[in-house]
Chains A and B, each alone.
Chain A
Amino acid sequence: MNKKYRYGILFTVLAISVLLAGCVEKPGETPGGAAEEIKIGIVAPVTGGASTTGTDMWQAAVLAADEINAQGGVSVNGANMKVKLIKGDTETSREGGVKAVTKLITVDKVDILIGGFSSGITYADQVVAAEHKVPFIITGASSPVITRRTDVDTSYFFHHCPTTDDYPDSTLLFVDDVVKPAIYAKFDFDDDRPLRLGVIYQDSKYGEGVYDGIKKTIENNNLNMEIVSEEKFKMSETDFRSVLTTIKAAKPDVVYPAAFLNEQTLIVAQGRRDVGLNTIYLSVECNDDPDYYTGVGEWGEYSIQESRFGPYANPAGAIRSSVLKFRDDFESKWGASPGMMGASTYEGVYIAAEAIKNANSVDKEKVRASLAELEMPQIIEVMKDSTITFSPDYRESKFALYMQQLIMDEAAGETRPKIVWPESVKETDFVLPDWYEPGAGGA
């Protein structure tokens, strides 16, 4: 092959490569009016290990933006501004998150950010938002540290997602209020007997956060509970038999895993089937997912699931119709059921629109101040006092979490969650199953 021919091939290959490199997918955008538009950056893991959640967040945000634009947009200074969403794919990694947020701010010049799944990733990418003083409504990170860290200015961050302190707070209050009396009545335990709690948690900020939240809840509410066993496991573990055997030996009345879906499924199934730990299993809200009900099968029956929005539950009361409408609209548009992170991101877009309308401006400082003073009715997730507002100290909104019990649905061939607490949104009563075995002792 002579030199000219070789160089010709090399040049052609290089030219094609440059051409193809330029043909990258445009970052997802929703159509907006070119002149008068509010640019919202949606920070979500659209690719990578959490892509299912990221896609859910993006699709829910698009639904919200389309609804707002269909109603004329957001009134700002006499003009109706359309909402334009720009996708910031974190690629389910810290580096991807930083890259995405940097691009959204410096290239796309967004007015506000919404999203941020995974506390670890958000912890990294929010630094960029802090540096540029861009308001960020964080709808997908559970660590309270997101707005409480002191190494960056967090005044532009607004946390619209329950934290690892909130999960155990509602869960253990429910256990104290409903589960414990049922156990004690059936087995004739003294009221003074502390409830025996076994905790198994992921060796991560998330797991440790929930475990710390459990201890804080017991102490702050003076609950008559004691942690008789606490075990850590590494993320993505697949074999929990040995650790569950240790927990079983401690004779707990209730077991509280702080785990992700794939881990929770195996903890419950292996606990009941392999180890014979026939107890009430609790669960953090991230497992309120169709894949969990399919995966855990019959073994999840009568277990407890804390939540705020799910694919199957229909909270009673004022919010029911809006939940059903949101679910129907999402399914019509996307052909899939919305998830929890999608629900809070959907609300995040409405929150941003309301704050901008109240500020009468897209100026970032004015929007920040408007968010800090925001009070608006709950949308599709039950909020404390039915109002979305951010606390003055750490800018955290307060969700009114509910508890569900998994009940077998013969038609579906798997369990379905039914809300059992609190009374205001309850669908059915809690059931203590016949196979339940309490921990040690009656006194």
Chain B
Amino acid sequence: MDTGVFLLILAWGLYAGCIYILLAIGLNLIFGVMKVVNFAHGELLMIAAYATFWVYYTYPRINPYLIIPVVMLLMAFLGVLIERLCFRPILGTGKLNEIFLSLGLIYVFQNLAALLWSAGSRSIHSPYSGISVSIGAITLPLDYVAIIVITFIILVVFHVFMKRTTVGRAMRATSQNREAATLMGINVERIDMLSFALGSTLAAVAGSLWMISGQMVTPYMGSIPAIKAFAVIIIGGLGSIPGAIVAGLTLGIAENIVPFLMQSLVAVFGLEMSFTAWKDTIAFFILIVVLVIRPTGIFGEKGE
């Protein structure tokens, strides 16, 4: 394989990994604090993507990058609503209730989106889509570089928030030991709400960046990114933010690199599989390997 092509594929994997990381960290945060698995997290990305589309076409000529903070606010509000009206009333009533609730939310969001925007594909255009940037031996669209940079900034801000702020420390305390956190005077219900809002905000960034990168949104597109996000948090370790980052990048890069490598296997063994099917195969292959070797995930704690 040509070195330039290899580096280009690595760069694409890095950009794809950014979307997975943002989604997975939000999912991890919600699980870490509330111990709730939100199966509708992919639908939050989908709703955020539609919100980006809606603002973009309601206010023509607006730079889509300026829409990101608006969508973050909208989705934070939605996250608060979901936590308060849906998960709060059933917390502690059993895992099955939580699972069915989030599965129900999937259908509610999908059909709401179909009702509001129809089932057709929607997209927006970045004003920079025609601009490419040369980085060493490769040329990348400016939007991809921006996405990687924005994700890095978000991760740094998130890290500082979790480590250096009172609310961040309270979230970490609640995720480590909810009872002890309560005894220490932390309002855990308020932390639940803030965690869900923050998780939704991260999904909002993922959704907006998804649209800016030239992707399309349909009401039913949330499931695949959600499955990949689940794979990321399991590979990285439930509740582990560094694990989600490492796993997200690994997955994004592996998905792009491995199909090329499998081409040689196709030639040798005559295996017929669609090129892009290899991408999904490798994601879950990595998941299985990690679970077999280290069931808690790369950075996971025992007992999770």
Q: Which residues of A are in contact with B by a Cβ distance under 8 Å?
A: 48-52, 203, 231-234, 236-243, 245-246, 249, 261-262, 265-266, 269-270, 273-274, 276, 291, 294-295, 297-298
Contacts and interface: CB of A to CB of B under 8 A. Distances in A.
Given A242-B259, A245-B5, A266-B215, A232 B114 contact: no
A273 B129 contact: yes
B276 A269 contact: no
A204 B255 CA distance: 22
Nearest to A201: B274
A380 B13 CA distance: 47
Given A49-B220, A243-B259, A297-B129, A274 B141 contact: yes
Contact of A294 (B123, B139, B276): B123
Contacts of A273: 129-130, 132, 141, 214
A234 B214 contact: no
B125 interface: yes
A314 B279 CA distance: 42
A232 B221 CA distance: 20
A239 B16 contact: yes
B119 A242 contact: no
Main secondary structure of the interface of A (DSSP, over half): helix
B75 interface: no
Contact of A234 (B122, B129, B274): B274
B165 interface: no
Given A234-B280, A266-B216, A291 B122 contact: yes
A242 B256 contact: yes
B107 to A, nearest CB: 12
B176 interface: no
Given A237-B276, A239-B276, A243-B259, A295 B141 contact: no
A275 to B, nearest CB: 8
B275 interface: yes
Interface residues of B, number: 38
B275 A274 contact: no
A294 B274 CA distance: 28
A296 to B, nearest CB: 9
Contact of A262 (B121, B139, B260): B121
B118 interface: yes
14 contacts: A49-B119, A49-B218, A51-B114, A52-B119, A203-B277, A234-B274, A239-B12, A239-B276, A241-B256, A242-B275, A265-B216, A274-B12, A291-B122, A295-B216
Nearest to A248: B5
Given A246-B263, A262-B216, A298-B130, A50 B119 contact: yes
A55 B73 CA distance: 34
Given A265-B121, A274-B12, 12 more contacts: A49-B220, A50-B119, A51-B114, A52-B119, A238-B224, A240-B276, A241-B256, A242-B12, A242-B260, A245-B8, A245-B260, A261-B120
A241 B252 CA distance: 13
B132 to A, nearest CB: 8
B247 interface: no
A231 B275 contact: yes
B9 interface: yes
Given A262-B218, A295-B216, A246 B121 contact: no
Contacts of A298: 129-130
Contacts of B256: 239, 241-242
Interface string B93-134: 000000000000000000000100011111101000110100
B276 A243 contact: yes
A233 B275 CA distance: 6
B252 to A, nearest CB: 10
Given A51-B114, A269-B214, A297-B129, A239 B279 contact: yes
Contacts of B132: 273
Nearest to A269: B214
A265 B123 contact: yes
Contact of A233 (B119, B141, B220, B276): B276
Contacts of A203: 274, 277
